[in-house]
Amino acid sequence: MSENVRVRFAPSPTGPLHMGGVRTALYNYLFAKKHNGTFVLRIEDTDQTRYVANAEQYIIDSLEWCNIPFDEGPGKNEKYGPYRQSERKHLYKQYADELIEKGWAYYAFDTAEELDAHRKDHEANGKTFIYNWHNREKGRLVNSLVLSSEEVEQRIANGDKYVVRFKTPQDETLILQDEVRGTIKIDTNTLDDKVLFKSDGMPTYHLANIVDDHLMKISHVIRGEEWLPSLPLHTLLYKAFEWEAPKFAHLSLILKPVGKGKLGKRDGDKLGFPVFPLQYTNEETGNVTRGYKEDGYFAEAFVNLLALLGWNPGTEQELFSLEELTQAFDLARVSKSGAKFSPDKAKWFNQQYLQQKSAEELTELFLPILNSQGVEADKNYVQNVVGLVKERANFVNDLSELSNFFFADPTEYDLKAAKKQWKETTGELMTELVSVIEGIEDYSIENAQTEIKGWITSKEIGFGKVMQPLRLSLVGKLAGPDLFEIMTMVGKETTIKRIQNAIAALG
Binding residues for ATP: 265
Let me know if 265 is a catalytic residue: yes
Residues 152/142, Cβ–Cβ less than 8 Å:
no
* Residues 410, 475: Cα–Cα separation, whole Å: 6
CA–CA distances in Å: residue 101 to residues 294, 299, 364 = 54, 50, 65
CA–CA distances in Å: residue 320 to residues 276, 303, 345 = 21, 9, 15
- In the DSSP assignment, the letter for residue 43 is B
Return the SS3 of 374: coil
Residues 437/486, Cβ–Cβ less than 8 Å:
no
* Residues 366, 61: Cα–Cα separation, whole Å: 24
* Residues 240, 466: Cα–Cα separation, whole Å: 85
Q: Residue 123, class by beta-carbon neighbours within 10 Å (0-12 exposed, 13-18 middle, 19+ buried)?
A: exposed
Within 195-256, strands assigned E span 195-197, 220-224, 247-251, 254-255
Say which amino acid occupies 250: H
**Catalytic pick among 247, 262, 265, 357:** 265
* Residues 492, 410: Cα–Cα separation, whole Å: 16
* Inter-helix orientation angle 492-506/483-490, to 10°: 110
Q: Find how far residue 433's CA is from the centre of its chain.
A: 53
* Residues 319, 407: Cα–Cα separation, whole Å: 34
Say which amino acid occupies 189: N
Binding residues: 265
Active site residues: 265
